[in-house]
Structure 1
Amino acid sequence: MMANGFSVENCRAVITGASSGLGAEFARQLAPQAELLVLVARRGEALESVKTELSANKARILCCVADLATDGGRAAVCSFLSANGVNPNLLINNAGLGDYGSFASSSADKTRTQIELNVTALTMLTHALLPRMEAPAGIVNVSSLASTLPMPDLAVYAASKAYVTSFSEALSIELAPKRITVSCVCPGPTPTNFSKSAKRADGTDTNREGQGLLRIPPEQVVHEALSALQHGRPCVFPGFGVSIAGRLFRMVPRRMLRWLLKRRAAKE
Structure 2
Amino acid sequence: MTVLLLALLMANGFQLEKCRAVITGASGGLGAEFARQLAPHADTLVLVARRAEALEMVKQELSSFNATILCCVADLATDAGRNEVMTFLETHDVRPNLLINNAGLGDYGSFASSTAEKTRTQIELNITALTMLTHALLPLLCESAGNHALASMATAGVLNVSSLASMLPMPDLAVYAASKSYVTSFSEALAIEMAPKNVIVSCVCPGPTPTNFSQTAKREDGTDTNREGQSLLRIPPSEVVSRALMALQQREACVFPGVGVSIAGRLFRLMPRSVMRWLLKRRHGKE
Looking at structure 2, the residues matched to 254 and 58 of structure 1 have their Cα atoms a distance apart, in angstroms, of 50
Looking at structure 1, the residues matched to 65 and 182 of structure 2 have their Cα atoms a distance apart, in angstroms, of 35
Number of the residue aligned with 1:218: 237
Of the two, which has the highest radius of gyration? Answer: 2
Q: Is the 8 A contact 1:2 1:230 kept in 2?
A: no
- Bigger mean CA offset, 51-60 vs 107-116: 51-60
Q: Greater helix share, 1 or 2?
A: 2
Question: Could you tell me which amino acid in structure 1 is paired with residue 238 of structure 2?
Answer: E
Looking at structure 1, the residues matched to 254 and 16 of structure 2 have their Cα atoms a distance apart, in angstroms, of 17
Q: Is the 8 A contact 1:4 1:179 kept in 2?
A: no
Name which of 198, 203, 206 aligns with 2:217: 198
Looking at structure 2, the residues matched to 54 and 21 of structure 1 have their Cα atoms a distance apart, in angstroms, of 15
Name which of 179, 184, 192 aligns with 1:165: 184
Number of the residue aligned with 2:80: 72
Number of the residue aligned with 1:129: 137
Number of the residue aligned with 1:100: 108
- Bigger mean CA offset, 51-60 vs 219-228: 51-60
Which structure 1 residue ranges, 4+ long, deviate > 4 Å from structure 2? none
The structural deviation recorded for 1:59 is: 1.0
Number of the residue aligned with 2:96: 88
Give me the identity figure in percent.
77
Number of the residue aligned with 1:118: 126
SS of the residue 1:91 aligns to? strand
The structural deviation recorded for 1:244 is: 0.2
Which residues of 2 match residues 34-49 of structure 1 at below 5 A? 34-49=42-57
Number of the residue aligned with 1:254: 273
SS of the residue 2:70 aligns to? strand
TM-score, normalised with respect to structure 2: 0.92
Name which of 242, 247, 263 aligns with 1:244: 263
- Bigger mean CA offset, 53-62 vs 112-121: 53-62
Looking at structure 2, the residues matched to 229 and 53 of structure 1 have their Cα atoms a distance apart, in angstroms, of 25
Q: CA RMSD in A?
A: 0.9
Number of the residue aligned with 2:200: 181
Looking at structure 2, the residues matched to 84 and 131 of structure 1 have their Cα atoms a distance apart, in angstroms, of 17
Looking at structure 2, the residues matched to 128 and 236 of structure 1 have their Cα atoms a distance apart, in angstroms, of 25
Gaps of 5+ in 1: none
Q: Is the 8 A contact 1:98 1:198 kept in 2?
A: yes
SS of the residue 2:110 aligns to? coil
The structural deviation recorded for 1:58 is: 2.2
TM-score, normalised with respect to structure 1: 0.99
Q: Is the 8 A contact 2:10 2:198 kept in 1?
A: no
Q: Is the 8 A contact 2:30 2:237 kept in 1?
A: yes
Number of the residue aligned with 2:29: 21
Q: Is the 8 A contact 1:199 1:205 kept in 2?
A: yes
Q: Is the 8 A contact 1:169 1:183 kept in 2?
A: yes
Q: Deviations over 1:165-215 (max 9, x none)?
A: 000000000000000000000000000000000000000000000000000
SS of the residue 2:45 aligns to? strand
Q: Deviations over 1:91-120 (max 9, x none)?
A: 000000000000000010000000000000
The structural deviation recorded for 1:4 is: 4.2
SS of the residue 1:246 aligns to? helix
SS of the residue 2:11 aligns to? coil
